Amino acid sequence: MKTSTRGGRAIRRAAAGAAAAIMSVSVVFAPTASAQTSSDPAAAIEQFAPDFNLDQWRQDLTSGAEEQAWQTRQLLVSQATAVLNPMQSEQLVTFVDGILEGIFPGIVGRHTPKPEAAPAPAPAPAPSFDTGSCPASADVCVDQKRSISWLQDNGRVTYGPVNISAGAPTPEDATPNGTFHVTRKVRDEISYEFNNAPMPFAIYFTNNGHAFHEGSPQVLSNGCVHLNHNDAVKYFDDLQIGDTVYIF
């Protein structure tokens, strides 16, 4: 949009007035100023720059475009920074911004760059440990030698490692090594083979009764994988029928 001749003259008058305002405020705030001198920028302009008509400047601003008004403000800020000390400059700019806001509500906010949002903190890396021979394709891994187990997704550990106990080292009680798949899940299971022993949160991975379930990791099992209560709940919630189990 082209600016009218009147609007251009208004901006030039505003710029000249800005310079006069700076000089007046510089005198007012100088250490040698008299005690009767006001520290108010408007009073300073009136006292030391009588030719600068503040009301006329307001009218001139309204006759011009917002962008021109902001350019005049920027000129004022630049000159104030060069001539005045930081406190004086801040007072004068606050005064002028008040005038601009009265004519163009929100102008300062529209022309002030928004601070960049702080980047979200990176998630804490999963604990690093040796996953041994467990392949990335496995959903749950059991390391019998170290008595630990963990959940993973495409090789990325998502839970664990947690302490477990597996079967006793006898042929009839040993937990088998190899690749298996979750076949069924029973939340409130009991062992019919071992005197109705409780097997909460059972996750079966063979057809011979081998399963993950809640039990003491300090006690060897008859072939199942014992998990603490919280770990058993997590495994039960996360593992689904068909998920891959790797035991080594």
How confident is the model at residue 6, as a pLDDT? 45
- The order of strands in the sheet holding 211-214 is 178-181, 244-247, 140-143, 148-153, 156-165, 225-227, 211-214, 197-204, 184-191
Q: pLDDT band for position 147 (50/70/90)?
A: very high
Clarify whether 210 is annotated catalytic: no
Least confident of 22-26, 49-53, 151-155, 172-176: 22-26
Percent of the chain with pLDDT over 90: 43
Q: Measured between alpha carbons, how far is 165 from 202 in angstroms, rounded to an integer?
A: 15
d(C-alpha 69, C-alpha 81), whole Å: 18
What CATH fold (topology level) applies to the domain 140-247? L,D-transpeptidase catalytic domain-like (2.40.440)
User: Mean of the pLDDT values across residues 204-229?
Assistant: 96
Residue 10 clears pLDDT 70, i.e. is over it: no
Q: What pLDDT, on the 0 to 100 scale, is given for residue 50? A: 54
Residue from 134, 224, 226, 229 carrying the catalytic annotation? 224
Q: Which token pair is 190?
A: 């009991």
Q: In the chain, what are the domain boundaries?
A: 5-111, 140-247
pLDDT per residue as tens digits for the range 187-216: 999 888 888 899 999 999 999 999 999 999
213 a catalytic residue: yes
Question: Higher confidence at residue 245 or residue 24?
Answer: 245
pLDDT in tens, 161-196: 999 999 999 988 999 999 999 999 999 998 888 888
Mean pLDDT of 147-164: 96
Please tell me the pTM assigned to this model.
Answer: 0.51
Active-site hit among 141, 210, 213, 226? 213
pLDDT at 27: 42
Are the C-beta atoms of 147 and 217 separated by less than 8 Å?
A: yes
24 against 156, higher pLDDT: 156
Give me the phi and psi of 77, to 5 degrees please. -60, -45
- The DSSP element (H or E) to which 64 belongs, if any, is none
Q: What digits encode the pLDDT tens for the residues 103-146?
A: 888 888 888 887 888 888 877 665 578 999 999 999 999 999 99
Q: What number of H helices and E strands is found in the chain?
A: 7, 9
